[in-house]
Amino acid sequence: MIYSVRHVTKFSYTPAVRESVMEVRMHPRSEANQRCLTFELNLKPSAALMQYRDFLGNIVHHFDIAGSHTQLKLDAQSTVEVLPIHEPDVAHAGSWEELDAMVATDGYYEMMLPSTFARPSNLLGDFAREMELERRFTPLRRIPCLGRGPTARPRLGRHRSHQQSAMWRTPHPGSHRPRLRRSAPHPRSI
């Protein structure tokens, strides 16, 4: 399926500002089942656009509007092709040991830093014990269990129920972005 995506951001300044220096990440990624076919970013007032990739692989546009202005408009337009997502085969998705080795060697350091938003606490420990979050099964097989509650066990067969399959591909209400339901992480999307 091909999507046409338009994102408009307007800034109004009172009193006028002397200069605007900005970085924006509006360019959709091309990876997995998603491919950005076209991208255009227009600025008013106009400015020279420079771009680079950040450490996560996002294209970042940077610009500097020198001179007094009371408004700034960013208009990003993209055409994105999204192919169907095939449900992963959780029985052959790898082991905890493989995941640990990948994290140790492939530069996932930033993703493994402790969060400043979720600090260890007795309540969090109780939740982890209630959800039985120890390393059982395979990493991917554990995700659907989180949405079913603390007594859930993985379904061992390759065939899933309609409800479980829908958890992997149902779009979030009111959004064109594919998201997983419940507490499962969502795939990267536009």
Report pLDDT digits (tens) over 56-101.
899 999 999 999 999 999 999 999 999 998 777 777 777 888 878 8
168 pLDDT band, cuts 50/70/90, is: very low
Residue that wins the pLDDT comparison between 43 and 160: 43
- pLDDT higher than 90, residue 164: no
Q: What is the pLDDT of residues 28-50, one digit of tens each?
A: 999 989 999 999 999 999 999 99
Q: 144 with 183: CB under 8 angstroms?
A: no
In the chain, where are the structural domains located? 2-82, 90-169
Global model pTM greater than 0.85:
no
Q: 45 with 29: CB under 8 angstroms?
A: no
What is the CATH number assigned to the segment(s) 2-82? 2.60.40.2250
pLDDT of residue 159: 44
Alpha carbon distance 38, 66 (integer Å): 28
Identify the top-confidence range among 8-12, 142-146, 182-186.
8-12
